Amino acid sequence: MNGIKLGQYVHGNSLIHALDPRTKIICCIIIIMAVFINYSWYHLFFYVLLMITVIKISGMSLKFVLNSLRNIRYLLLVTFILQAFLTSGEPVLMLGKLSITREGLILGTTNLFRLIILYLGSMVLLMTTSPIKLSAGIESLLLPLNKLKIPVHNFTTILSISFRFIPTLIEEATTIKNAQRSRGAQFDSPKIMVRLKSYLAILIPLFEASLLRAEDLGEAMDSRCYTGHPNGLRMSSLKFKYKDTVTLCFMVAVLFAGVIISSIS
Amino acid sequence: MPKIIEIKELDYTYLPGSPYEHKALKNINLSLEQGDFLGIFGPNGSGKSTLAQQLNGLLCPNNGTVTVCNINTADKKLRQELWKKVSLVFQYPEQQIFQITVYNEVAYGPRNLGISETEVQARVYNALQEVGLIPENTEHLTPMSLSGGMKRRVAIAGMLALKPEILILDEPMAGLDPLGRKLILDIIKNRQDKNETTVMISHDLKEIITVADKIAILDRGTLVFCGEVNQLLENTNILAHYRFELPDYLQVVYALADRELDVNTNISSMKEAAMEISKFIV
Amino acid sequence: MDGQGIELVNVTKIYKNAGTEKTALKDITLTIQPGEYVGLMGMNGSGKSTLARLCNGLIKPTRGKVYVDGMDTSCPENTTEIRRLVGMVFQNPDNQLICPVVEEEIAFGPENLGLSITEINSRIAWALQALGLENQRHHAPHLLSGGQKQKVALASVLAMLPDYLILDEPTSMLDPASRWELMEHLRALNTQKGMTIILSSHNPDDLIHANRLIVIDQGSIYLQGTPAEVYAQESELADIGLEPPGIYQLINLLEEEHNIADNVKSIAELVDKICPK
């Protein structure tokens, strides 16, 4: 996993890699629905185990992915604290007028795990699905919207091109930041207004560069006969196979099982 | 003569300890006197830009010392003030333009210096003139609407207006047509006349060899050569390696010398080369 | 190649922008024959970029006509075929690559032409191999060097199997090694595959393989001819801010006293002439 940035596609040969992107997207949606419908501890525990299993099958380093949770540590912390303080119920700890309740602690922990499951699910999706396949998958699933005259293809083209340029933009931002620093821009100033103004010196040039880039890209695409109409090629290369059907059935079964178990208890 | 730049045993590694670790500079020893023009040459990835950023305080050494304008860059506080004395003009500097008028763009740096507005105006006007623009005609223009060459001039003016003791230019001629290149050389010659120090980074040896006082050649982070131009031309090892980077007339002279012709290889201009080669044409 | 070439007939191009007018090209008539390697020289703003873009129909002339293999570029029905026949590579390597993976980038053009998957795959393989990019097949573009990006741009154009290749300042953002490599590929495409090449650059070293030079100044053709003919007119070139490559400048100086220039186009040839092995 050396040299891999978070969320970046990693080429591989695992079962997860081989699944149709639409299967993976639908599974992600199922997981989202599942953890929102039912959040009893054993349910969440099951999903965490499921995520860990999927990560192992995909060949990604579990250690790397779990370590990457550090990126959302503030989100997790804030969620937990807010839930602990703001949920009404039996107080466990008093801090002046505010109190941490037992229900708050339980709900806080629950939400923590929900977020972790969602995070892990998205990571698996992004790291095992190539951007092109992902974009083709999204486009294919959104095709019915075409009947409502929504230009699905254009939308996914925009997504896919934006995605491709994220690393480039980050690089450019770093260079521009250094260049402006060399002219005295104070990015570390204690005064917020000074700092904000300094960041303008990065945002405006980036924006300008992006406008120019859009023009150039348009020319390059035109020159290669791009007509803005969807070509069925990428999407027709997506085929549901036996493993996709099995995976989808499994996930739907798990979802229903969870619903049934929780309605019984 | 006190050295304006003194680098001793400089090592620099990007992202040490991470999977991305990359040793960009290894044991660099280099010094420069005030008023000199140093040309730093090397292929892509040789560490030239990293070295430039060591000189203006953006980076500091992992090992060794870098002393610029009598300031040791190991001192964080002093390092953060170094931009006031050492201006680094990045590649494609027009990319950093963000103000609505040419005036404000050139004034951005000086204003950050905290000087009076009258002084700022004087500097802006001087800088615009130095890059061949007429202040009264150009100060109200919108930089974004100018041509690429004009934008570059405005960006360079913005750095000249800081009145730096050392001006570092990173590939300043990239993408410019012959007229644009000539402008850059004029700016440098101007500084040489005023005994102001300049450093220019280039991946084209032809560009720097005719104007530099001193040349440093970097290869994968190591300083392969540092000295005066005529020392470079006398160093047969280095010369053999970088032969095809030399100006065409020198290549002809050396090729003739290889063929056992008794040609004088101590040539410093095309005219001299033509006169020397003429002797051997029957 | 049995095309008819690219023809510009009395072409004028005027840009109108918020009330101001700029005439980029004035009444240009020019024919580029199949198989030629044409170098377009001129300062920035001389009109060479406009000329390049007229040749594949990205821009239409204000007056006059442009024909590619006999097809009028102003007719919309011809657009796709013209853009397939005339491939174009631009100056900024990054701003031509839209796909997150090299392989997909090369597939982009053929996909737009509606070719079958098998055909597309075979073209991808061929283009990658022709430019030595096999190892970069699955790479993301931001991991490539400027020179590699430009090769990918070229590969993605070649995958459409054009007869004509136009390159608008393709090397101005590249380092010397990448520049030389790109020029070698173009030379091979011209000499081995008979591809017509139009290369626009203000760096005369890029145009060393050209067999015809067209110098543009302020929208008109200023000089035209073989490199030797054009570079011999050093003072005319200097008048518009251009200069010949170093070797030609040296030859011009030597020519003042001796007769040495016949067929000498490179350092090696000059050295051989003076001191034959």
Contacts of C54 in chain A (CB under 8 A): none
Residue C246, chain B, CB below 8 Å: the answer is yes
b or e along C137-168 (b: 16 or more beta carbons within 10 Å of the residue's beta carbon)? eebbbbebebbbbbbbbbbbbbbbbbbbbbbb
CB within 8 Å of chain A, chain C residues 89-118? 90, 92, 94-101, 104, 108-109, 111-114, 117
Residue C274 and residue C187 share a domain: no
Evaluate whether residue A2 is within a structural domain: no
| CATH code, domain with C76 | 3.40.50.300
Evaluate whether residue C129 is within a structural domain: no
Residues A58 and A127: beta-carbon distance below 8 Å: yes
Tell me how far apart the alpha carbons of residues B15 and B37 are, in angstroms, rounded to a whole number: 31
Residue C87 and residue C10 share a domain: yes
Residue A239, chain C, CB below 8 Å: the answer is no
A103: Cβ contacts below 8 Å, ≥ 6 apart = A87, A88, A89, A90
Backbone torsion region of residue A96, taken as left when φ is above 0, otherwise alpha when ψ lies between -120 and 50, otherwise beta: left
CB contact under 8 A, B270 and C249: yes
Residue C267 and residue C194 share a domain: no
Residues B118 and B131: beta-carbon distance below 8 Å: no
CB contact under 8 A, A179 and B93: yes
Nearest CB to C141: which of A164, A225, A234? Answer: A164
CB contact under 8 A, C112 and A231: yes
Evaluate whether residue C104 is within a structural domain: no
Residue C217 and residue C193 share a domain: yes
Evaluate whether residue A5 is within a structural domain: no
Evaluate whether residue C257 is within a structural domain: yes
Residue C80 and residue C10 share a domain: yes
Residue C250 and residue C173 share a domain: no
Residues C13 and C50: beta-carbon distance below 8 Å: yes
pLDDT in tens, A149-207: 888 888 888 888 888 888 889 889 999 999 999 999 988 888 889 889 899 999 999 99
The number of distinct structural domains making up chain C is: 2
Tell me how far apart the alpha carbons of residues A217 and C22 are, in angstroms, rounded to a whole number: 24
Pairing between β-strand C63-68 and β-strand C6-17 as defined by DSSP bridges: antiparallel
Across A101-120, average pLDDT: 86
Residue matched to tokens 């096999």: C134
Tell me how far apart the alpha carbons of residues A241 and A63 are, in angstroms, rounded to a whole number: 31
Query: Minimal Cα–Cα distance from A82 to chain C, Å?
Result: 39
Token duo for residue B193: 């006349």
Evaluate whether residue C132 is within a structural domain: no
Which of these, C229, C222, C276, C274, lies nearest to C248 by C-alpha position? C229
CB contact under 8 A, B53 and A178: yes
Q: Which chains touch C (3 or more CB pairs under 8 A)?
A: A, B
Residue A182, chain B, CB below 8 Å: the answer is yes
Token duo for residue C225: 């001819």
Evaluate whether residue A119 is within a structural domain: yes
The pTM of the full predicted model, rounded to 2 decimals, is 0.85
Evaluate whether residue C46 is within a structural domain: yes
Evaluate whether residue A7 is within a structural domain: no
Residues across chain B: 282
Position A170, amino acid: I
Residue C168 and residue C250 share a domain: no
Domain that holds residue A168: 15-264
Evaluate whether residue A127 is within a structural domain: yes
CB contact under 8 A, A213 and C56: no
CA distances from A177 to A167, A184, A219, B44 (A): 15, 11, 29, 22
Per-residue pLDDT band for B55 (boundaries 50, 70, 90) equals: very high
Write out the E strands in chain C: 6-17, 20-32, 37-41, 63-68, 71-72, 86-89, 164-168, 196-200, 212-217, 220-225
Q: Which helix (H) or strand (E) holds A94?
A: strand A91-95
Nearest CA in chain B to A189: B80
Evaluate whether residue C45 is within a structural domain: yes
Residue A103, chain B, CB below 8 Å: the answer is no
CB contact under 8 A, B113 and A182: no
Tell me how far apart the alpha carbons of residues C80 and C88 are, in angstroms, rounded to a whole number: 13
pLDDT tens for chain C, residues 1 to 277: 468 999 999 999 999 888 888 899 999 999 999 999 999 999 888 899 999 999 999 999 999 999 999 999 999 999 999 999 999 999 999 999 998 889 989 999 998 998 888 899 999 999 999 999 999 998 888 889 999 999 999 999 999 999 999 999 999 888 888 998 999 999 999 999 999 999 999 888 889 889 999 999 999 999 999 998 999 999 999 999 898 988 899 988 888 888 776 778 888 888 888 888 7
The number of distinct structural domains making up chain A is: 1
Evaluate whether residue A195 is within a structural domain: yes
Phi, then psi, of C254 in degrees rounded to 5? -65, -35
Contacts of C241 in chain B (CB under 8 A): 177-179
Residue A63, chain B, CB below 8 Å: the answer is no
Query: Minimal Cα–Cα distance from B25 to chain C, Å?
Result: 20
Residue C178 and residue C77 share a domain: yes
The percentage of residues in chain A with a pLDDT greater than 70, rounded to a whole number, is 94
Residue B39, chain A, CB below 8 Å: the answer is no
Nearest CB to A217: which of C95, C117, C160? Answer: C95
Residue C72 and residue C28 share a domain: yes
The ipTM assigned to this model is: 0.90
Domain that holds residue C58: 6-95+163-241
CB contact under 8 A, B178 and C243: yes
pLDDT for B61 beyond 50 = yes
Nearest CA in chain A to B110: A183
Nearest CB to B147: which of C45, C246, C277? Answer: C45
pLDDT in tens, C18-45: 888 889 999 999 999 999 999 999 988 8
Evaluate whether residue A212 is within a structural domain: yes
Evaluate whether residue C33 is within a structural domain: yes
Contacts of C58 in chain A (CB under 8 A): 219, 222-223
Tell me how far apart the alpha carbons of residues B167 and B191 are, in angstroms, rounded to a whole number: 9
C112: Cβ contacts below 8 Å, ≥ 6 apart = A224, A225, A226, A227, A231
Nearest CA in chain B to C42: B177
CA-angle at A96, arms to A91 and A102, nearest 5°: 15
Residue C88 and residue C15 share a domain: yes
pLDDT in tens, B135-190: 999 999 999 889 888 999 999 999 999 999 999 999 998 888 888 888 999 999 89
Evaluate whether residue C231 is within a structural domain: yes
Contacts of B174 in chain A (CB under 8 A): none
| Residue B20 burial (CB count, 10 A) | 11
CB within 8 Å of chain B, chain C residues 90-109? 91
Evaluate whether residue A6 is within a structural domain: no
CB contact under 8 A, B112 and A184: yes
Query: Minimal Cα–Cα distance from C47 to chain A, Å?
Result: 17
Residue C48 and residue C84 share a domain: yes
Residue A209, chain B, CB below 8 Å: the answer is yes
pLDDT in tens, C38-87: 999 998 888 999 999 999 999 999 999 999 999 999 999 999 999 999 99
Residue C275 and residue C182 share a domain: no
Which of these, A114, A115, A162, A169, lies nearest to A134 by C-alpha position? A162
Which of these, A249, A171, B255, lies nearest to C271 by C-alpha position? B255
b or e along A190-201 (b: 16 or more beta carbons within 10 Å of the residue's beta carbon)? eeeeeeeebeeb
Token duo for residue B37: 């023009």
CA-angle at A135, arms to C139 and C99, nearest 5°: 35
Residue B167, chain A, CB below 8 Å: the answer is no
CB contact under 8 A, B108 and A183: yes
Contacts of C173 in chain B (CB under 8 A): 174-175
SS (H, E, C) B249-266: HHHHHHHHHHCCCCCCCC
